Amino acid sequence: MKLKTLVVAAGAAAVGYVLGTKAGRAQFEQIKARADEFAHDPRVRSGVSSFAGEVSKNADKLPDPVAGAVRAAADKVQTVTHDDHTQDDQKHDDHPNGDRPNDSTPTA
C-alpha cells in the first residue's frame, strides 16, 4: 500500500468521524469557534493586513503578468481585513457591555 493512499484513507476516516458522530461534531464546533475567534483577533487582522501591504509593495519585482494579479489580490486582502475590522469594531461598540457577543450563546 502506498503512503499517499494510506494518508488519504486516514484523512477521509478523520473527516468522517468529525462530521459523522456527535463527539466529532462537538469537536468540529470547538475547532470552528477557535478558528473564528483567531480570524477575528485584531492582532491577526493587523498582521495579515501588513503582510498584504508588503506583498503589494514587492509585487513590482515579479514578472508583469503576475505582478498585477499579486498586487490586486494583496490590495483585496487589505481592503477586506480593514473593512471587516471596522465592522467588528462597530459590533463591539454596539454591544451593551462592550464585549463582542459570542455567536454560540443567545444575547438578551
Per-residue pLDDT of the chain (108 residues; tens, 9 = 90+): 688 898 999 999 988 877 788 777 888 899 999 999 998 999 998 898 888 888 888 888 888 888 888 888 888 888 887 766 555 555 555 444 444 545 554 444
SS3 8: helix
Q: Which three cell numbers stand for residue 92?
A: 463591539
Domain segments of the chain: what residues? 1-39, 41-94
DSSP string covering 19-74, please? HHSHHHHHHHHHHHHHHHHHHT-HHHHHHHHHHHHHHHHHGGGS-HHHHHHHHHHH
